[in-house]
């Protein structure tokens, strides 16, 4: 229902007067019929399913939920949301990448970002890449020569002379693949529509606030309608809202609530009774919505269009990271915008109860919070290290710029947002290794951030120190302390350790699976890249970050992975977002058998 309701807000952006990116308004652009009706259809389906659920299942809703039922409800409603959220992408025929078909050869060539399937020589490849970079709109050969002149001058000019009949044909998604006979041309560009797996991936990535995308080219409204792009960012908003509110407010009662507290807000819970929790949840909703609004307004003031401002606010506060531009936040190249987003990313990665405490005039509580302090210290120290080690590829002239990009990237990865202002994939090894490990830290408990959460790491280190101490002082059992106070003992220790163990084992096995599933050819000769890229892809999805290293780097995307890997990544995103247990139990036969 909520999903359907939210889709309504995506509809207006089908009108070009609203749906246009910063600096791109084109009054001649047409109304986005396909996107509009796809959204309408999705809304109808959502409400129908919502109505059915309410009527046939809703009866049990008011009873006290048991732990098992609660877990099943969370997991299944998450799956349902993903499916509903995928519909607009599928119905609208959104395209994820371009395919170029060479008619003089017999081979079809898929162009994603860096990859060409099929046997092409270097010259052909460069031309096709230039075409693909221009988007699906197609360009005359003369313009093509101009635009790729620098990269492959000789080849293109030779080609222009030898094959004067080369001309582009753009086949739109809805047209027949085999174009009518009058289209005599040597190559055809055909956008590849998102498959069902792609749509589900994009939807899951949005709801889990991961921000991993399979869409290689966001900037072409012919293949990705603006209203669909807005819906894509809206899934972040809904996901973030769901995380901080839904589980606490709607499902946060009875013994079920406690399970979900374990699944959703880890570590020692900070608030007490049920009513207080529900009350807090509504305050969280208000804080979350107001922060979205404030950020959108600030971004608008600093020069974004409303469309971009709102989408980026959604991406920031949900710690998602979907942008509306291929280059992510780097596109704007503006210090005020960067710093605005940095500040809101830091806010989004904080425990929302701290926002509340500051609002009711008790900022001291925030400053005393051990998790918040560790969180801020990690950001400060890692940024300092990254900047000091001179991690940047090019010799930036200004320290301010180095600092800005370093801070942005550290905050973006740490809070699991995944926006980028600099291609950190070309940083030196130290920078990349630090960012990789930072992925596993994540935001604070009770925030929209993913990862393992700061509080778990604090407890983890404390537990390990106590345990090592106990190995030589077996009789002395000391309690686990957090900010002076002793926190619950053995059981908490075990839960934290089990969580880390599960993450480690899931990470290792998923890495092996991706390495096995993906063909070596995608990476060409450098198979070390495959090992690192796969590891970062698993980490980036499991911790809900989005971009990783190599082929899924800051300027890249997930479009090159096979469908099987994409399904695995979807599962990892869901695992990470619902904090393992809820998702793991539904795969246990015992869970369904026993009562």
Site residues, a copy of itself (CB under 8 A): 67-68, 71, 259, 262, 389, 428-430, 432-434, 436-437, 440, 460-461, 463-464, 467-469, 471-474, 490, 493-495, 497-498, 500-502, 504-505, 508, 511-512, 515-516, 518, 520, 523, 526-534, 549-550, 581, 584-585, 588, 590-591, 594
* CB of residue 508 to a copy of itself, shortest distance in Å: 6
Which lies closer to a copy of itself via its Cβ, residue 342 or residue 414?
414
* CB of residue 88 to a copy of itself, shortest distance in Å: 34
Cβ neighbours around 241 below 10 Å, total: 20
Q: How far is Cα 354 from Cα 361, in angstroms, rounded to an integer?
A: 11
Handedness of CA 146, 148, 150, 155 (dihedral sign): negative
* CB of residue 300 to a copy of itself, shortest distance in Å: 40
What DSSP element (H or E) covers 312? helix 306-317
Which lies closer to a copy of itself via its Cβ, residue 269 or residue 428?
428
Q: Provide DSSP, 6-31.
A: HHHTTGGGGSTTTS--TT---TTPPP
Handedness of CA 348, 354, 358, 364 (dihedral sign): negative
Instruction: For residue 116, give the DSSP letter.
Output: B
Which lies closer to a copy of itself via its Cβ, residue 347 or residue 439?
439
Q: How far is Cα 203 from Cα 92, in angstroms, rounded to an integer?
A: 14
* CB of residue 476 to a copy of itself, shortest distance in Å: 9
Q: Calculate the CA 448 to chain-centre distance.
A: 12
Q: How far is Cα 191 from Cα 487, in angstroms, rounded to an integer?
A: 56
Which lies closer to a copy of itself via its Cβ, residue 139 or residue 584?
584
Cβ neighbours around 329 below 10 Å, total: 24
Say whether 99 sits in a helix, a strand or coil: strand
Q: How far is Cα 185 from Cα 348, in angstroms, rounded to an integer?
A: 52
Nearest of 192, 208, 16, 215 to residue 93 by alpha carbon: 192
- List Cβ neighbours of 348 (8 Å cut-off, separation of 6 or more): 240, 291, 316, 317, 318, 319, 415, 417, 443, 447, 448, 449
Is 205:211 a contact under the CB 8 Å cutoff? yes
* CB of residue 468 to a copy of itself, shortest distance in Å: 5
Is 171:179 a contact under the CB 8 Å cutoff? yes
Which lies closer to a copy of itself via its Cβ, residue 100 or residue 549?
549
Which lies closer to a copy of itself via its Cβ, residue 49 or residue 515?
515
Is 557:113 a contact under the CB 8 Å cutoff? yes
* CB of residue 53 to a copy of itself, shortest distance in Å: 22
Which lies closer to a copy of itself via its Cβ, residue 338 or residue 533?
533
Which lies closer to a copy of itself via its Cβ, residue 367 or residue 501?
501
* CB of residue 66 to a copy of itself, shortest distance in Å: 9
> How many residues does the structure list for the chain?
595
* CB of residue 271 to a copy of itself, shortest distance in Å: 21
* CB of residue 244 to a copy of itself, shortest distance in Å: 22
Q: How far is Cα 397 from Cα 432, in angstroms, rounded to an integer?
A: 22
Instruction: For residue 480, give the DSSP letter.
Output: P
Classify burial at 443, counting beta carbons within 10 Å of its beta carbon; exposed 0-12, middle 13-18, buried 19 or more: buried
* CB of residue 516 to a copy of itself, shortest distance in Å: 5
Which lies closer to a copy of itself via its Cβ, residue 194 or residue 549?
549
Is 436:549 a contact under the CB 8 Å cutoff? yes
* CB of residue 525 to a copy of itself, shortest distance in Å: 10
* CB of residue 529 to a copy of itself, shortest distance in Å: 5
Which lies closer to a copy of itself via its Cβ, residue 209 or residue 259?
259
Which lies closer to a copy of itself via its Cβ, residue 15 or residue 591?
591
Handedness of CA 336, 342, 346, 349 (dihedral sign): positive
Which lies closer to a copy of itself via its Cβ, residue 190 or residue 530?
530
């Amino acid at each position: 229902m909520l999903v359907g309701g939210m889709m309504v807000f995506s509809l207006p952006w089908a009108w070009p007067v609203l749906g246009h990116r910063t600096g791109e308004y084109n009054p001649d652009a047409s109304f986005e019929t396909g996107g509009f009706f796809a959204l309408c259809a999705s809304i109808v389906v959502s409400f129908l399913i919502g109505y059915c659920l309410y009527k046939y299942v809703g009866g049990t809703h008011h009873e006290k939920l048991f732990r098992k039922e609660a877990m099943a409800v969370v997991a299944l409603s998450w799956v349902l949301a993903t499916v509903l959220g995928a519909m607009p992408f599928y119905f609208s025929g959104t395209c994820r990448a371009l395919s170029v078909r060479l008619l003089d050869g017999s081979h079809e060539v898929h162009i994603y970002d860096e990859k060409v399937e099929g046997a092409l020589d270097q010259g052909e490849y460069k031309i096709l890449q230039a075409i693909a970079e221009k988007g699906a709109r197609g360009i005359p050969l003369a313009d093509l020569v101009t635009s790729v002149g620098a990269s492959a001058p000789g080849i293109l000019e030779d080609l222009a002379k030898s094959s004067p009949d080369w001309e582009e044909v753009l086949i739109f998604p809805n047209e027949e693949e085999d174009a009518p006979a009058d289209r005599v041309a040597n190559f055809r560009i055909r956008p590849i529509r998102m498959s069902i797996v792609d749509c589900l991936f994009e939807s899951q990535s949005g709801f889990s606030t991961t921000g991993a995308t399979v869409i290689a080219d966001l900037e072409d409204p012919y293949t990705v309608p603006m209203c669909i792009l807005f819906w894509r960012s809206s899934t972040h908003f809904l996901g973030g809202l769901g995380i901080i509110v839904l589980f606490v407010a709607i499902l946060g009662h009875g013994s079920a609530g406690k399970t979900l507290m374990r699944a959703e807000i880890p570590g020692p819970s900070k608030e007490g009774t049920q009513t207080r929790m529900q009350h807090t949840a509504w305050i969280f909703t208000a804080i979350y919505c107001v922060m979205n609004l404030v950020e959108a307004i600030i971004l608008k003031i600093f020069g974004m269009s409303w469309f971009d401002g709102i989408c980026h606010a959604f991406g920031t506060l949900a710690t998602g990271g979907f942008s509306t531009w291929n280059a992510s936040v780097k596109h704007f190249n503006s210090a005020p915008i960067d710093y605005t987003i940095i500040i809101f990313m830091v806010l989004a990665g904080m425990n929302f109860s701290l926002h509340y405490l500051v609002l009711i005039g008790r900022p001291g509580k925030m400053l005393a919070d051990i998790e918040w302090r560790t969180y801020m210290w990690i950001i400060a120290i890692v940024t300092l290290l990254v900047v000091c080690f001179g991690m940047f590829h090019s010799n930036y002239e200004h320290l301010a710029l180095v600092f800005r990009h370093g801070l942005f990237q550290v905050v973006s990865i740490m809070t699991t947002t995944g926006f980028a202002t600099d291609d950190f994939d070309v940083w030196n090894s130290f920078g990349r290794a630090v960012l990789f490990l930072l992925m596993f830290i994540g935001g604070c408990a009770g925030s929209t951030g993913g990862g393992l959460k700061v509080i778990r790491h604090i407890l983890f280190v404390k537990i390990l120190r106590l345990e090592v101490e106990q190995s030589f002082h077996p009789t002395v059992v000391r309690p686990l302390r957090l900010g002076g106070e002793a926190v619950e003992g053995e059981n908490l220790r075990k839960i934290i350790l089990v969580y880390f163990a599960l993450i480690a084992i899931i990470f290792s096995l998923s890495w092996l699976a991706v390495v096995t599933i993906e063909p070596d050819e995608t990476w060409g000769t450098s198979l070390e890249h495959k090992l690192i890229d796969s590891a970062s892809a698993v980490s980036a999805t499991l911790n809900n970050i989005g971009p990783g290293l190599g082929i899924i780097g800051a300027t890249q995307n997930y479009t090159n992975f096979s469908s099987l890997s994409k399904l695995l990544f979807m599962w990892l995103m869901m695992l990470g977002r619902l904090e393992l247990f809820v998702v793991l139990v539904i795969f246990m036969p015992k869970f369904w058998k026993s009562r």
